[in-house]
Each structure stands twice: as structure tokens, then as C-alpha cells.
Structure 1
Amino acid sequence: MNIFPVIPGYRVEKKIGESQVADVYLGVQEHLEQRVVIKVLEPDLFQDKALAERFFKEAKKTGQFSHPNIATILEAGEANGTHYIVMEYLPESLRDRINHKFGIGEYKLLESAKIPEGYTFLHLLKEVAQALEYAHRQGFIHQDITPGNIRFREDGTAVVTGFFISNVIDSPETLKRKGIVFNSPYYISPEQALKKHPDSSSDIYSLGVVFYEMLTGRVPYDAEEPIAIENQHIMKPVPQLPESLSSYQELLERMMAKNKEERLASASQLLQTLDELIYNLPENGREAISELEIPREQRSPYREEQNQIKRKYKPIKGEGKMRMNIDKEELLRTLLNPRIALPVIAVVVIIVVLLVILSPSPDSAGGTPVAKQQALEEKDRQYQYKFQLAQRFFDSGNFQKAREKLKEAEQFKKTPETKELADKIALKISQKKDHNAFKKALADGAAAALEDYLKQFPSGLHVKEVEEKIAALKEEEKKREAEMQRLLASSIKLRSQYKDLAVAEVRAMLKKYGFYEKYYHESGDFKNHYQLKTIKNDPVVYDYATGLMWHQSGSPSYMGIIKAKLWVADLNKDQYAGYSDWRLPTLDEAVSLLENTVNRSGLYIDAVFSQEQRFIWTGDTFEKNKGWAIDFFGGDANKVNFSDVVYVRPVRSLK
């Protein structure tokens, strides 16, 4: 029999994975019946009190992440000594798709897997880079980018997971002391292999390794021992792709450069490079991710269909090729070998002599008309290149990127055409902001949101439409308010004075017109008329059928009758929603909230109210020494001791 961890609010179904840091389970969020992934972290990690505190600190930070390409953390907590993370369920990973493409194992893609038309390896890299760029701006370095940590939603969106764990663990040294290897040696950066502090470029290197595996189906470096793999990351050059994939070699070298100074330093730089590559990609030259769906019998590591990219990324003159930075100690050991050192020294001497002989004099270097002309031509070429990029991005509708490229062009020179394009870009960006603000206000649907649009864009593109919409909303509000006032005028008057009630009296009240019928309604067609409102930032629920205003959320916790009355007194002291006449409801008033059928939460109360308060106090008593409470879970009334703990939902009269 499997023994699964007990996580409050979740039903653990099965174990789906494990690592040295956490066990991974498939679970169900009981309240919403929604599938989730639950990661239970190793207990040994939290023997250190500081690490336990860091767990909750990082949980709060990463829980606030809001990015379409970063997995959503639903909850992180601790129960009975078990530290856990709950996140959205993402059943398929890049590892699964790579295995499927290259015929590794028997994995079959999910039927729900969606791959957008024209979606290339570069588009996938861009989605991951967008996630990294967002996280890096928040101060988070992932440190463990692998195909397993890149997953997919049902709509095909690539999502990065694992930020939380990598930042909960305070340092690699902590893991080493506990005998845990956090990073996979296959995807580790040279600086991580050298036990140096990782930064944003370390994530770029690891993503470069993943990119190589996406293209070839294998990792660039392999060995029997992790230390041997780490040494290859430090010493071995960036592997050459097959000729059929050579279009990607330049990008791969920029991502996997051994020397951090020669590597793409940030996700922002990677995104800029990818945008330029994707823009220049010919329509018939797309290495599509949809290749991951080819029939197995047709698969081979380098299919001819993968060899279609004709255009190779060509960097601006002066950027140069990426060079391998060989470890200095290794180079020194090599040069100290007599069999190697003498020939090398001889060659170096010859080169130095030739450089001295052939080098121009100081007077002739850089100051000649020819050199100046070359510098001007180079400056003009750089300007033309950047300006054309800006124009292309503008034509494609990417106005922010067009502005960036135009600023780069203006570093070389400013011309009437740069000013003209700058004005066009500014206008388009303004119009886009205008349109986005309009769509947001329209989606909100409230008059206040539309009025905010008018304040922000008094001469905007949609002013007339917004003014007409506001007028229509206000007219609707007038009609609705008139109807509510009509209902309020004819509302049922319920007992508001507390009294001592016998059991038989309460039972007769509840069952007079049917098991869940409202006792005060004889015709059988009574219906509440609820309206949720926010007054002074406090949510309340109007019921125009009974003439009552209810506290929408109720008390945050259970409490005895004395504490309940004190809590209501504090509401009045603070003037919740602007009123100071809140009170406990009578049983008559509380029964009016009971519905004939249960809602999705399994309660006999309308979903307009908070669903946490399953039992609420009334002000009525039983034999003077007990109280009456309404049970929304059972749809009934119960007598309770004054010392029992029950929720509170205060009420006040509207008339």
C-alpha cells in the first residue's frame, strides 16, 4: 500500500517523480477538483532553521511572479513538518518531446499537445528567454535550466518551472554538506562547475546546452563520472553542429561561450538576437517544433527536412567570432612541457618579429585620410544596418523593438529620416497604449474604469465610444437602482429582536413549507435579490427582498459567542462600509440565507458570499444558556454552547 504525504486541502493521487531535493506527486485541489503538482522537499534540508525561514520568504516572492512563461505556484507551506510546493499541472515537458522526436524510449505525445503553426526552435528559445528575462529582473537566477524544467501548457505555451526550489536552497555549499547534487552536470555552466557564483549568463549557457540537445537529440558533453562532464564544460570547445544544422552554430557559440565576457550576458541580449534571427528567417526555412510529431519509422537524428534553413546569422563586423577561453592553469601546464614549449616559443618569436617589421608607424595609424574614410564608411554601414532593423520592426508592428533599434542607429548619426521614423514610432506606441487602455476599460465594464480612460486619454481614439458607453451604463444603473428601491419598499419584514427559541419552534419554522423552504414565505416563490457592492473598500451584500445588508466575507476564523460580539463591536468602531449598526442576525434573518439546493462548494448558500463560513452565530438563545447557529453545510439550525467556536456573518437593516 502506498503511503502518501497528507497536504491540507489536497488529495495526493500518485508519485510521478523524484530528485535528491524533492519528491513529486500528482494531486487534486479538493475545493476546485483541479489537478495540481505537489513537490515535497527533503526533510533534511529544513533541519537548518534559517533555511526553513528562507523557504517561506522565497515562497512569497515567487508566488507573486506573473508571467505567461513561468509556472504558477498556487501554494507553498508546511504541514506536520512537511514543506511542500503546489503548482499548476503541466503534464508534458521538453524532455518528453525530445525523446519522442529522436525515438528515445516509447513516449507518445499527449493528444492535447498543441504546437502553433510556424513555431520554430527559435520561438521556443524566445519563450524561455522571456521567462528568464522576467526572473532575472526580479533578482532570481534559475541555476538548473534543463529539458525537464521546460514544460508545456495545453495551448502549447512553453513554461519554465523550478525557480522556487533553486532559490530556496541558499547555496551549492549547503547542498554539498548534505550530500545533495542540485544541478545536473549535463547542463551546468563552466562557472558553476568551478564552484563560482552563477549569474544571468549562467542560465544562458545552460539554455544553450538544451538548445544543442533540441537540435541533435544528445547532450554536448558526456562521460561516466559527473566530474568528467564538468571538466568538459570548462575545457572543451563548443561542439560543432552537423552541416545540415550549421545555421544555428553562431547562436550556439554565443550562448555556450566558455568565457563569460564572450557569452550573451543576459536574457535581454538573447531576446534581441532571437528577434533578429526570427525576423530574417525565410518562410521555407523553418526548423519547426512540429517535427516532434513525425511518425517513428520516419525518424532519424538528422532528417533532410531539418536542413532547410538557408540563411546563416551574420554578425556586424567587429563583433567577431566567439573564442574558447582555455583554462589558464591547464594552458600553463601545457607550455611547461619541454616537448611542446620550445616549438611554441619559436613560433611566438617569429610572429612578434613579423609584427614589429610589418606594423605601421604611429604617424600612419588611424590618422590618414584613407583610415578616416574607412571609419566614416563603417559608421555609415552600422547606421544603415540599425536603421533598416528599426524600419523592419516598425513594419512588423513591434514598435518597442523599433524604438530600441532606432536609438542604436542614432548613436551613429541623426538624420531627418530618423526623426521621421521616431515620430511615427511615438505615434504608434501612443495609439497602442490608447487602444490597450480602451480594451482594458471595456473588459472591466464599470463606469469608473471607462472614466479613468477619459482622464488618461482626453483626446484618445475612443473618446466618443467611451462617453456613449458611460452614459448607457449610468442609465442602466438608474433603472437597476429604481428596481432595487421598489423591491426594498416591498421587502419582507423579518424579526430583528433576539429571543429564546425552543427546539420544536425552530424545527417547525424550518420545515413548515418544505425541508429547505424559508419559513416566512407561504406562496412558495420567494427569491432573494442579492447585489454585491464595495463601499469604502469594504465588500457587502444587499438583499432587497429582505431589506438587509450582509457582511460579505464574515469573520476570518471561528470564535466563541463573547469573542463574536467583540468582533462585531470592533466592526462598528471601525465603521465597516461606513456604518456602525452591525449586529448578529436573528435566526429568522439567518435562515433567509438558506438555499433549496447546494452550490458548487456543497453549501446551502448563494455563491455571492464567502464560502469559508459554513456555520454562523445568531443572536437568539436556547434555554438562556446556549445559542442557535445556522449550518450551511447541512442546511439546518443547531443549538451550540456559548463556548463553542463558530463563524460570524454580521447584518444590518437597510430600512
Structure 2
Amino acid sequence: MLIWAKLNHQNIARLYNYSTNPLFHEIEYCGKNLKEVYNSIKSEERIFKIIFDVSEGLKHAHTRNILHRNLTSANVMFDGRDAKISNWYCARYVNRVSRDLQKPYSKYLAPEMILKKKEGFYTDIWQLGVLFYELTTGRVPFNNKDEILNIKVVHPYEIINKCLSKRRKRRYQSVEDFQNDLKALINEKYENFVENKEMFKGISYCCDLLLICLKNNDGVNAYKYLDDLIEYVDNNSIKEDLKHLKESIKYRLENHIPIPKEIIYNAEIITHKIKLVK
């Protein structure tokens, strides 16, 4: 649990306090786990948002050379708005061997975990793919270890197929690569809504794309999505908030200043308002 205590991120459930003797832990309350609620998550846009949230939590851990190793729908908490990774009991540092406080759930095991081979960031990527598949279809892609080792997955999202490649080197090697393809998929959906003049549906995707760009310090594309939102949002108060946000992004682009957390937090509030009133 010492590893978990070192992680502090918006998409990771906080471990506030713990002891091994006597055994107890105090964890942030983050709603229900996805296994309890995923049948009620019907929106494709909501699924993309959850998966991006989870990938953000993984990215934070991976920058610290930490693997989760037990990423399942039971270990991701969801409060209706944000997803947070919990239960880091199987976590370990890359290239280090340590005793698991609990065994990883078998239906999510990556092939290298079953075969006792080297694990890496690609191991968490595999489990992220299983989670993506489960949220999309309502079931996990494999029911036992034999199915995992004799993988045959056909799914419309190439992203999931790449995550679930049996060969480690064919998977995404970083969360950033995964996020780039997820952003491209969301953008494709968004552009289809724009082309078909279905902006009621498209606005939510545009909000998500804005936040993805801001969190990845992509001010140029964030500026573009802000332009779109200003055009499509009817609420004058929110429109003014978007214009102020746009000016803040413009200033940082012109002066080559990274996007701070305060702007991201402000954008999260604004986009939440947009989704409530659209």
C-alpha cells in the first residue's frame, strides 16, 4: 500500500491512511465501482470519457514507473462524472518483483502475467483494453486463461484490438499513444455530428475533446474546439466564460506558456455546465 500512498491525481482514488498491523486503510469515497453501474452507462460519449479518465490515472502512475496490474471494472470508481482508479494492492514498480497483497483478477490477466514473463506499461494497456471492451459490450472478452492465450478478438474499435494484441510489442507502448488514437476516434465522431448538423449530440464530444487537449497541453487544438463551442452554445453566460477561456489559451500560445491546472479545472466546470444545459 506504500506505493498507492505516493499517488496523488484527480483520476486516482486517494489512500489517506493505512496500517499493516493492525490492517486497515482509509480511502477516498468516489461513488460505486464500474462493475456495479456499467449496465446503466448507455452513452458512447460517457464510455469514452471514463476510459480517458482511467488512462489519465495510469499515465500519472506510469510517469512514476508504477504499474497497477489489476485494472478491472471492480477497481475503477465512478461518481457519475469522474472515474478514479482504486485498489492498488497489486501495484509494483517496473522491473521490480514484490509480493502481491491480493491476486490480480484472472479474466483481466495479460498473457505475459499468465506466462510469468516480463511485465511493463503494456500490461496495464492490455487491462485498459479489456475494460474498454467490457464497457462497450457489457462483457469481458475472455472467460478463462486458455481464451486469453488463444486470443481471437474482433471489435469495431481498432484501439481495443491494439490494446489486446497477444504480442506485447504490438500493443500501445505508452498511455500517450493510446490517448492520441482515442482522441482521433472521438474527433471522428464529433465531425460526423457536425457534418450531419446534429450539434445537440456533438457538443458533448466537443467538450471532451477540449479537455483532452488541455490535459495534454495541446493549446492549438484546444483553441479550435473553444471556437466551435462558442459558436454552438446558446447560453450567453457560458459563452462569455468560453471567450475568457479562449483568451487565456491564446495568451499562453503566444508566449509559449504551458497550460496550468487552474485553466483545466476552469474548463471542467464550464464543460460540465454546458452538458447540464444543452
Q: Which bracket does the TM-score occupy, shorter chain normalised?
A: 0.5 to 0.7
User: Alignment partner for residue 231 of structure 1, among 118, 141, 146?
Assistant: 146
Q: Structure 1 395/133 Cα, relative in aligned 2: closer, same or farther at 3 Å?
A: same
Aligned to 1:476: none
Aligned to 1:62: 4
Aligned to 1:183: 104
Once residues 131 and 213 of structure 1 are traced to their aligned partners in structure 2, the CA distance between those partners, rounded to angstroms, is 19
Choose between structure 1 and 2 for higher RCO, CA contacts under 8 A separated by at least 6 residues: 2
Q: Is the 8 A contact 1:193 1:231 kept in 2?
A: no
User: Alignment partner for residue 211 of structure 1, among 132, 136, 139?
Assistant: 132
Report matched runs for 1:347-496 at 5 Å.
Answer: 392=221, 394-396=223-225, 426-427=253-254, 429-430=256-257
Once residues 161 and 181 of structure 2 are traced to their aligned partners in structure 1, the CA distance between those partners, rounded to angstroms, is 13
Report matched runs for 1:75-114 at 5 Å.
Answer: 75-78=17-20, 81-100=21-40
Provide the secondary structure at the position in 2 that maps to 1:75. Answer: strand
Q: Is the 8 A contact 2:69 2:124 kept in 1?
A: yes
User: Alignment partner for residue 122 of structure 1, among 26, 39, 48?
Assistant: 48
Provide the secondary structure at the position in 2 that maps to 1:86. Answer: strand
Is 1:272 the counterpart of 2:212? The answer is no
Aligned to 1:72: 14
1:587-625 CA-to-partner distances (Å, cap 9, x unmatched) read xxxxxxxxxxxxxxxxxxxxxxxxxxxxxxxxxxxxxxx
Q: Is the 8 A contact 1:145 1:187 kept in 2?
A: yes
How far did 1:153 drift? 3.0
Unpaired runs of at least 5, structure 2: 194-217, 228-249, 267-278
Is 1:161 the counterpart of 2:161? The answer is no
Once residues 390 and 204 of structure 1 are traced to their aligned partners in structure 2, the CA distance between those partners, rounded to angstroms, is 26
Q: Which amino acid aligns with 1:209?
A: V
Aligned to 2:118: 197
Unpaired runs of at least 5, structure 1: 1-54, 103-114, 223-228, 286-388, 399-422, 440-655
Task: Decide which structure has the larger Cα Rg and report it.
Answer: 1
Once residues 429 and 240 of structure 1 are traced to their aligned partners in structure 2, the CA distance between those partners, rounded to angstroms, is 43
Q: Which amino acid aligns with 1:70?
A: I
How far did 1:282 drift? 2.7
Structural RMSD (CA):
3.5
Aligned to 1:144: 70
Q: Is the 8 A contact 1:141 1:200 kept in 2?
A: yes
- Write 1 or 2 for the structure with the bigger share of helix: 2
Q: Structure 1 186/86 Cα, relative in aligned 2: closer, same or farther at 3 Å?
A: same
Q: Structure 1 235/99 Cα, relative in aligned 2: closer, same or farther at 3 Å?
A: same
**How many residues are treated as equivalent by the alignment?**
216
How far did 1:204 drift? 0.7
Once residues 102 and 7 of structure 2 are traced to their aligned partners in structure 1, the CA distance between those partners, rounded to angstroms, is 26
Once residues 185 and 174 of structure 2 are traced to their aligned partners in structure 1, the CA distance between those partners, rounded to angstroms, is 17
Q: Is the 8 A contact 2:159 2:178 kept in 1?
A: no
Q: Which amino acid aligns with 2:55?
A: A
Once residues 259 and 431 of structure 1 are traced to their aligned partners in structure 2, the CA distance between those partners, rounded to angstroms, is 36
Once residues 17 and 251 of structure 2 are traced to their aligned partners in structure 1, the CA distance between those partners, rounded to angstroms, is 46
Q: Percent identity?
A: 21
How far did 1:98 drift? 2.3
Is 1:240 the counterpart of 2:240? The answer is no
Q: Which amino acid aligns with 1:253?
A: N
Q: Which amino acid aligns with 2:224?
A: D
Q: Structure 1 168/426 Cα, relative in aligned 2: closer, same or farther at 3 Å?
A: closer
Q: Which amino acid aligns with 2:166?
A: K
1:496-546 CA-to-partner distances (Å, cap 9, x unmatched) read xxxxxxxxxxxxxxxxxxxxxxxxxxxxxxxxxxxxxxxxxxxxxxxxxxx
Q: Is the 8 A contact 1:394 1:425 kept in 2?
A: no
1:225-254 CA-to-partner distances (Å, cap 9, x unmatched) read xxxx223212222x223xxxx2x2x11111
Q: Which amino acid aligns with 1:95?
A: K
- Write 1 or 2 for the structure with the bigger share of strand: 1
Provide the secondary structure at the position in 2 that maps to 1:396. Answer: helix
